[in-house]
Structure 1
Amino acid sequence: MLPDVAGIDRPFDYVVPSELDDRVGVGTRVRISLHGRRVGGWVVADRVTPPEGVALRPIARVSGLGPGPDVVELAGWAAWRWAGRTGAFLATASPPRAVHDLPARGRRAGGGPVSGNRGDLEEGVVAEALAQARTVVRLPPASDPFPLVEAAIAGSADGAAALVIVPSQEWAARTADRLRRRGRPVALLPDAWADAAAGGCVVVGTRSAAWAPAPDLSAVVVLDAHDEAHGEERAPTWNAWVAAAERAERRGAPCLLVSPCPVLEALAWGRLVTVSRRAERQGWAPLEVVDRRKEDPRSGLFSERLVAVARGAGTGAADRVVCVLNRTGRGRLLACGACGELARCERCEGPLAQTDSPGRPPGPAVATDVLRCRRCGEERPDVCAACGARRWRVLRPGVARVREE
């Protein structure tokens, strides 16, 4: 038994009472007594021979089902790969709520094949992508990757499971809905953990789906494999596509990574498949870089080209303009409108900033209620320390000011 206790990463031997023998297997979640207290844990091995002369304590009770034997082995590999505790990975692989019984095994509606619609993908790209067990497909952002998902799971026999891993829960819900409309039984994680463990369905979810139960795994597809959302930021900092690829290789199932810009590790891992250069160019938005060194320095934050593009856009959703500025608040650097003195913190000499305030009138010189130091958080009234004026010029605007302009 591997206790779910921080600081302990080794198994202990316990005896299974006869009344619990039919409910305990590798991966089962149990409660055990350890150092005088009751803790949870997982069964990581059975039918073992304990050391001689050791009196074993019995398992206190069974908490519910847990990850299967293949996932338990994968968790041990991941603990070595990312220098973490095996229990941390088993916790990710376990259901969010206790599961004691599994529903009926999923079945494809009507028993027919999945639709062969390939969308806007070129002829031969799907076939080439499925020809190898390790494949990286470089697909531009405007192309729909769903035909690759369909093709990857189309060869799955009834009763086999497939994994589809996406960066966000919204994307997972859309993918699950599209698969259901094609007649496929789907388990959308994390709520449908029991359906996934029952088998016979396509398991769809975010990065934790790499550890989901998938009996008779037949295929693994990771969409937008480059996305940072596939990586766990808390220690151990594992990555979903790496864990999913290792799982597929252990099972002998093909693994397909789809990304508009694959990472170097993925390119070294599998064979690269791309669409034609023309299709790839059409799938990316045009990029224009404006050199402002020749423009009037008094033109402000917005170049003439940016203003022309924004004004030339229509009012429909297709003509919507998105302006990205990595500065929060309203004004990140202020100068007095009367004497020109910079607004600085009296405690640390850091620059004072304006925060966004609803209803504040736009203009080059504005009034605010309070100024806040970006360095130490100190606040002070909106009065110039040099001359006492209360009007400020925004030298470095934030997103709130950009919205007004």
Structure 2
Amino acid sequence: MARSTTPRRGEWQQASVASVARVCVNVSPAHLDRVFDYRVPAHLDEQAQPGVRVRLRFAGRLVDGFLLERVAETDFDGTLQWIDKVVSPEPVLSPEVAQLARAVADRYAGTLMDVLRLAIPPRHAAVEKEAARAAEPSPPERERAEQAIAAGAVPSLEEPSPAAPERHPEATQTQTEATQTQADQPQTIQTEAPDPGGWRRYQHGDRLLAALHAGKAARAVWQPLPGEDWPARLAEAAASVAATGRGVVIVLPDQRDVARVAAACTRLCEAEQVVALSAGLGPAKRYRRWLAIRRGTARIVVGTRSAAFAPVERPGLLVVWDDGDDVHSDPHAPYPHTREVLMLRSHLTGAGLIIAGFPRTAEAQLLVETRWAQEVIAERSVVRAAAPRVVAVGASAEQEARDPAARSARLPGIAFEAARAALAAEAPVLVQVPRRGYVPTLACGQCRSRARCRRCAGPLALPGSDDRVPRPAACRWCGATEAGFRCPDCGSRRLRAVVVGAGRTAEELGRAFPGVVVRTSGGSEVLDEIPAGPALVVCTPGAEPLAPTGYGAALLLDGWALLGRPDLRAEEEALRRWLSAAAMVRPAEQGGRVVVMAESSLNPVQALVWWDPVRHAVVELAGRRELGFPPVARMAALDAVPAAIEQIRELLRLPEGAELLGPVPLPSGAAAQPGSGARSEPQARERLLVRAPLSQGRALSAAVAEAIAVRTARREAEPIRVHIDPLDLV
């Protein structure tokens, strides 16, 4: 057996050059969120390069870490410990991603290691070995190269060419620097301006592509037209940037969108340049593709949330599609949002940024109003020509006179008429039903007014039951039962559920339209595409399948359920779901119609009828500004048991202009301890909100992080969940 060449630990010698390694250690306590210095042994000198995974001892335990950089000296007064092992010589952490991770941790009052867990996938040793073998030249290639060097056809790297003239040392150094600069640049660079393609239909669309191609940090908020082939537009922008040798990152909400955009990019670029990343790939395949990005093989990365940290070389364009979708908010600490991550990355690297989607969020509108980004929209005449005809139930007195039951019926006559017309034209009909899982709130069965408690005006709901025993309605606020409900508006005693599931809706439509194919999409069975021809497609929001020639009509049911949610973003979310479905309907000139069951006077309904998401975003942002809610203010939500909340209140050193709101008790579903695996009865939890002006956002995050670090240093048992600018404030 061959004897190991690794010296014993007592015989280790430190590296001769840059013998100090600065390491981010994988430890959880917030007060340890800093870089630690370690000695680099001489036998690990070549492997211990910046970006590699290492193992070392910390507080007596063997833990993992990332080597950030190597320096010659340390500020530590004591004796440094050794790096025990280089887990892999693969430099998985690039300096740009490390800088981005630090910025994200500071923005969300988290730790660097928490962000790195989100940014870098777990190691897969077999994949690393595969990639290393593929990178090495095969034996025949090595033999041919040696023979060519011996024959003089290729100059050896170890000996200068005999024909090379002598040069002054300074000239040689200048040439070396120039050669290195050329090596850093892409081998093939396209200098001609790209064809704007479909971007010509938008104001400033051609200028946006030209600026991105020229390497400028162009930032845009893009509102696609209804029916737009938006994957093709994003692929055109990505191809124009990739042609200059820079990288592109496109982040989308789900796997279906990833597949569409990746296919569109592949049609314009070489397949080797496009990599699709998503959690559904599996550990090996995902890590193999991630390594291809890290090694510079791929230039265009298309993926879901975690792809925002993809280590592309020289990023030139960052894109987030449908930034209002809640899946862009990571459920793991420190809960970063994709839009904010890409904004930080654009600021740090000078890359261009496109925030795109059929709706416009208040956050995107703030970027436009502050001129941090330029809006890219089409003229109103172009929008009207591309949009379907949208009708809201109860839109006019004439409509109510024609259909008296329109306000109270779940599927009024107008909706049946639109569906029949579309089916007669051999076109499918899209029926959108609110997603399952909402609290089953109740409304009056006659006038559909929200059913409320007589004692506290809270919403009435049907309590859950495991034994199928019917129970009377109860208040979700005070818990009082309401056995004798009477509607204060019409006097009716009937109650009905605000939300009806997609399955029951499909059964009702099947009976109403006999002989018509009924398809469902949602939950675990999501259809990607449907065949051409007449059909009724019942789906939940986000599960709408593509129709080859577009839908003839869309019925957006139970709008009251979306608009009546006790959520700050209820109207914004409802409009986002409606626009995403209505954008798949044919233009009005081709008979496309959309019927939405909601009060026509409401702002989101008006924005849908006129297809004007910008108008809604302006109004929404003005309301947030008046109330002092994000994005015009910075908000920190602290969730914990009452004792921990009281502790954090005493430790917080609030910045100027900050204020405390609460605490208020959280619903029973949020009672579980974060990260706790205990089976004991969970304690009631509270939420404390800390609000600060936008100019004090950094100071607020720093103050919260400092207070959390003090608690972890004291080894307080009760954890506190910190979420900066959460989507759900109530």
TM-score category, normalised to shorter length: 0.7 to 0.9
Counterpart selection for 2:122 from 96, 113, 120: 96
Give the match for residue 46 of structure 1.
70
**Kindly tell me: are residues 80 and 317 of structure 1, through their superposed partners in 2, closer, same or farther at Cα, counting changes over 3 Å?**
farther
Distance 1:334 1:280 in 2: 36
Distance in 2 (CA, whole Å) between partners of 1:74 and 1:312 is: 53
Is 1:170 aligned to 2:256, yes or no? yes
Q: Say which is worse superposed, 112-121 or 283-292, in terms of deviation.
A: 112-121
Alignment correspondent of 2:411: 302
TM-score, structure 2 length as denominator?
A: 0.44
- 242, 248, 257: which one aligns with 2:340: 242
Q: Give secondary structure in 1 for the equivalent of 2:266.
A: helix
Task: Find the counterpart in structure 2 of residue 129 from structure 1.
Answer: 208
**Contact 2:249 / 2:319 at 8 angstroms: preserved in 1?**
yes
Secondary structure of 1:235 counterpart: coil
Please give the per-residue CA displacement for 1:217-265, whole angstroms capped at 9, x wherever unaligned: 2322333334333222443222223222322332233222223333224
The superposition leaves residues 114-164 of structure 1 with CA deviations (integer Å, 9 ceiling, x where unpaired) of 994724752774322233623222223421232343234324356532222
Question: Is 1:194 paired with 2:216?
Answer: no
**SS of equivalent to 1:321:** strand
1:347 is matched with which residue? none
Q: Secondary structure in 2 aligned to 1:44?
A: strand
User: Hey, what's the Cα distance between the residues in 2 that align with 1:317 and 1:59?
Assistant: 70
Question: Quick one: distance in 2 between partners of 1:158 and 1:98?
Answer: 32
The aligned residue for residue 75 of structure 1 is: 101
- Give the 5 Å matches for 1:6-405: 6-7=28-29, 8-47=32-71, 49-51=73-75, 53-64=77-88, 65-98=91-124, 100=128, 116=195, 118-119=197-198, 121-122=200-201, 125-130=204-209, 131=211, 133-136=217-220, 137-145=222-230, 146-157=232-243, 159-184=245-270, 185-190=273-278, 191=286, 192-201=289-298, 202-262=300-360, 263-267=364-368, 268=370, 269-291=372-394, 294=400, 295-296=404-405, 300-314=409-423, 318-325=427-434, 352=462, 370-371=469-470, 395-396=496-497, 398-400=499-501, 401-405=504-508
- Contact 1:162-1:203 at 8 Å conserved across structures: yes
Cα distance in structure 2, aligned partners of 1:246 and 1:320: 42
Secondary structure at the counterpart of residue 199 of structure 1? coil
Structure 1's unaligned 5+ residue stretches are: 336-349, 356-367, 377-383, 385-392
Q: Measured at CA, do residues 23 and 169 of structure 1 come closer, stay the same or move farther in structure 2, by a change above 3 Å?
A: farther
Q: Is the 8 A contact 1:224 1:258 kept in 2?
A: yes
CA contact (8 A) 2:239 2:268 kept: no
Distance in 1, matches of 2:407 and 2:354, equals 52
The structure-2 alpha-carbon separation of the partners of 1:264 and 1:237, relative to structure 1 and needing over 3 Å to count, comes to: farther
Q: Please give the secondary structure, in 2, of the residue aligned with 1:242.
A: helix
Between the aligned partners of 2:250 and 2:77, the Cα distance in structure 1 is 49
One-letter code of the match for 1:223? Answer: W
Aligned partner of 2:35: which letter?
Answer: P
Secondary structure of 2:65's aligned partner: strand
Q: CA–CA distance in 2 between the matches of 1:298 and 1:221?
A: 41
Once the two structures are TM-superposed, the CA of residue 214 in structure 1 deviates from its matched residue by 1.0
Higher helix share: 2
Aligned Cα root-mean-square deviation (Å): 4.2
Q: Which one-letter code corresponds to 2:329 in the other structure? A: G
Residues of 2 paired with 1:166 and 1:326: CA distance?
A: 20
Q: Deviations over 1:257-279 (max 9, x none)?
A: 22333322432321112222222
Q: Is the 8 A contact 1:2 1:43 kept in 2?
A: yes
The question of whether the paired residues in 1 share the 8 Å contact of 2:227 and 2:386 is answered with yes
Distance 1:147 1:247 in 2: 22
Cα 1:323–1:74 shift into 2, 3 Å: closer
Give the counterpart letter for 1:286 in structure 2: R
How far off is 1:69 after superposition?
0.8
Partner letter of residue 5 of structure 1?
Answer: V
Q: Measure the CA separation in 2 of the matches of 1:111 and 1:134.
A: 19
The AA in structure 2 aligned to 1:264 is: Q
CA distance in 1, matches of 2:375, 2:443: 51
Contact 1:353–1:371 (CA under 8 A) maintained in structure 2: no
Aligned partners of 1:138 and 1:183: how far apart in 2? 25
Deviation of the 1:193 alpha carbon: 0.4
Return the alpha-carbon distance in structure 1 between the equivalents of residues 305 and 24 of structure 2: 24
SS at match of 1:76: helix
Assess, with a 3 A threshold, how the Cα gap between structure 1 residues 323 and 126 changes in structure 2: closer, same or farther: closer
TM-score (norm 1): 0.75
TM-superposed deviation, 1:59: 1.4
Aligned residues: 367
The equivalent of 1:359 in structure 2 is: none
Letter of the 2:497 partner, please give it.
R
TM-superposed deviation, 1:68: 0.3
CA separation in 2, counterparts of 1:140 and 1:55?
A: 64
Residues 30 and 60 in structure 1, CA contact (< 8 A), matched pair in contact too = yes
What secondary structure does 2:242 align onto? Answer: coil
Q: Distance in 2 between matches of 1:134 and 1:158?
A: 15
